[in-house]
């Protein structure tokens, strides 16, 4: 069985075949999916999907590139909605300096990152962390505000040293299709060093499809390629990687 710990099936790229695709998951051994919000509207769509499919769960939160939508009223909505049965995490939240290079925007990202970490602590849910081109600030804020809050560093893209730092702090590392790319040297080095007990499998679909489907729309059906890549790096059977990463995700999201 495979657990897709981070997906975006509410995305418009799935508009024509979403139900057909999700209905095919069980027969392809994809037995649990967390659909992750990145804005208030996508968080609402994530909940609607989770309530429609037994094996889909929702994470709610606001991505750093969408923080302009946040205010006290919407934070109150997140706080209230986090108590719904199928909401299993706050995310994806964090910092993204790839697009937003202006210092004032980056400072606002930090403000709302801290606020959403505080929310996660308050509602006692794990966090899904997005960090792009913001390694130092993300780690600083995580050490400052997130100690004791379980979570995953989604779509990890930094060094093996930083991965091990997060593992020491108790976090999981999210690994997806990028691990199959020939030029993903840093990620492969990190995966080789991280204990398998700290790895989650994810797609971030519809983005980041693995080889041999790179550049196409991604889905959970591509996860065996990710499993095989990790198994080869770890010298393990793919079935062992599936079993351990499934158990990891179940533990993080409090599902048994």
Task: Name all domains of the chain by residue range, CATH numbers in brackets.
Answer: 2-252 (3.20.20.140)
Residue 193's Cβ-side half-sphere holds a number of Cα atoms within 13 Å equal to 17
Q: pLDDT of the chain along its 256 residues, tens only?
A: 999 999 999 999 999 999 999 999 999 999 999 999 999 999 999 999 999 999 999 999 999 999 999 999 999 999 999 999 999 999 999 999 998 889 999 999 999 999 999 999 999 999 999 999 999 999 999 999 999 999 999 999 999 999 999 999 999 999 999 999 999 999 999 999 999 999 999 999 999 999 999 999 999 999 999 999 999 999 999 999 999 999 999 999 999 8
- Cα–Cα distance for residue pair 201/227, rounded to 1 Å: 8
* CA-based nearest residue to 196, from 151, 238, 143: 238
Contacts of residue 145, Cβ cutoff 8 Å, sequence gap at least 6? 114, 117, 118
Residue pair 255/57 in contact by the 8 Å Cβ criterion: yes
pTM over 0.85, yes/no: yes
d(CA 74, CA 128): 19
């Amino acid at each position: 069985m495979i657990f897709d710990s981070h997906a975006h099936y509410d995305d418009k790229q799935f508009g024509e075949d979403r139900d057909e695709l999700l209905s095919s998951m069980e027969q392809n051994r994809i037995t649990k999916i967390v659909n992750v919000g990145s804005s208030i509207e996508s968080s609402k769509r994530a909940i609607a999907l989770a309530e429609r499919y037994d094996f889909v769960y929702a994470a709610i939160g606001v991505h750093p590139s969408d923080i302009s939508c946040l205010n006290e009223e919407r934070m109150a909505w997140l706080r209230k909605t986090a108590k719904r049965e199928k909401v299993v995490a706050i995310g994806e939240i964090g910092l993204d300096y790839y697009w937003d290079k202006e210092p004032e925007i980056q400072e606002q990202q930090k403000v709302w990152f801290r606020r959403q970490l505080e929310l996660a602590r308050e509602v006692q849910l794990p966090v899904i962390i997005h960090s792009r081109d913001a390694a130092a600030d993300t780690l600083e804020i995580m050490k400052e505000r997130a100690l004791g809050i379980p979570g995953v560093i989604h779509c990890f893209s930094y060094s093996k040293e930083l991965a091990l730092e997060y593992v020491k702090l108790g976090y999981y590392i999210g690994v997806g299709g990028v691990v199959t790319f020939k030029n993903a040297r840093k990620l492969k080095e990190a995966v080789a060093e991280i204990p398998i007990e700290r790895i989650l499998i994810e797609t971030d679909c519809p983005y980041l499809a693995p080889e041999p489907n790179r550049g196409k729309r991604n889905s959970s059906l591509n996860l065996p390629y990710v499993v095989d890549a990790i198994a080869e790096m770890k010298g393990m059977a793919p079935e062992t990687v599936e079993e351990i990463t499934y158990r990891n995700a179940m533990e993080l999201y409090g599902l048994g």
